[in-house]
Structure 1
């Protein structure tokens, strides 16, 4: 019996692999990422977080409380993923996904990493009062070291749409609703 082969992924959907400069720019931006972990029953768990990407070691960090579902999932199976969105130099979107091993960090190491995460998002004026509050609820940092990085952009699809015979200057705004 011949094994069934996987269907071919259409070229515009193919993702770039690796930690390119473009991917690193998205990971260094200030914005939320979505962290994915796996629940004990095998279902996915996702949560928006502030995050910090550090190329030295290619790790992604996010603070959390060790009692949360994401922290317990990481402690249980040591796996996580991160998804971040940004823009390419040409203005098209870029979606970055990292998947790999994760661990929970506590104590002084967690406090040092937490300070770096918060400095990415807060002004000097807001750092102390916001940190004082967050210190009462977050006692850990998750470290994700992706073994696999992929990045996908709709640029090829967008370019093809713009080359349709029906497309005319300004059609994009007539064909697609704006983001809300």
Structure 2
């Protein structure tokens, strides 16, 4: 078995990793043809991830022009602890304010430590409803996914 095969995550491990991590790095193509890289909070969605951003942001403009991105999640502070996922993705831009509101609530509840189905505090709902008209939702659907988990090597190289 190749080293690559040894460190590849299973589908269940990929889902668990999406659940555990907190920040994605999203690369889109800027107007000058160069990669534009930005960190974003996210939540797991279907087989990929979703988030929101300001509709006037550079990443939003890039993704409106070319709705494709590369997304990276990674952690580990030494070689034997490196884990991560890189995915090429088609990007769905969500402009419906009610859906963007739902996405914003899902995102903020996740980072507040709430569980799915927990009640949404009125103050949070009010804040998100005020933000949603200025934002768009982004849904990243993987077309190619590569994963690695060096902990599976047991400290060997």
Question: Which range, TM-score by smaller chain?
Answer: 0.7 to 0.9
The residue aligned with 2:156 is 159
Unaligned runs of at least 5 residues, structure 1? 1-10, 161-180
Of 66, 81, 92, the residue aligned with 2:70 is 81
Question: What secondary structure does 2:89 align onto?
Answer: strand
Q: Which has more radius of gyration?
A: 1
Q: 1:137 to 1:111 in 2, by over 3 A?
A: closer
The residue aligned with 1:148 is 144
User: Once the two structures are superposed, what CA deviation does each residue of 1:137-171 show, in whole Å capped at 9, x if it has no partner?
Assistant: 951111111111110233449413xxxxxxxxxxx
Aligned residues: CA RMSD: 3.1
1:128 aligns with 2:117: no
Unaligned runs of at least 5 residues, structure 2? 115-119
Q: 1:20 to 1:36 in 2, by over 3 A?
A: same
**Higher relative contact order, chain-length normalized (CA < 8 Å, sep 6+):** 2
Of 16, 29, 33, the residue aligned with 2:24 is 33
For residues 50-129 of structure 1, what are the structure 2 equivalents within 5 Å? 50-55=41-46, 58-86=47-75, 92-106=81-95, 107-123=97-113, 128=123
Q: How many aligned residue pairs are there?
A: 144
User: Once the two structures are superposed, what CA deviation does each residue of 1:65-96 show, in whole Å capped at 9, x if it has no partner?
Assistant: 01111111110011012111257xxx833111
Runs of at least 4 residues off by over 6 Å: 124-127
CA deviation after TM superposition for structure 1 residue 135, in Å: 1.6
Contact kept in structure 2, 1:35 and 1:81, CA below 8 Å: yes
Of 8, 32, 45, the residue aligned with 1:16 is 8
Following the alignment from structure 1 to structure 2, what is the Cα–Cα distance between the partners of residues 130 and 158? 46
Following the alignment from structure 1 to structure 2, what is the Cα–Cα distance between the partners of residues 53 and 35? 15
Q: What's the TM-score once normalised by structure 2's chain length?
A: 0.75
Following the alignment from structure 1 to structure 2, what is the Cα–Cα distance between the partners of residues 154 and 30? 16
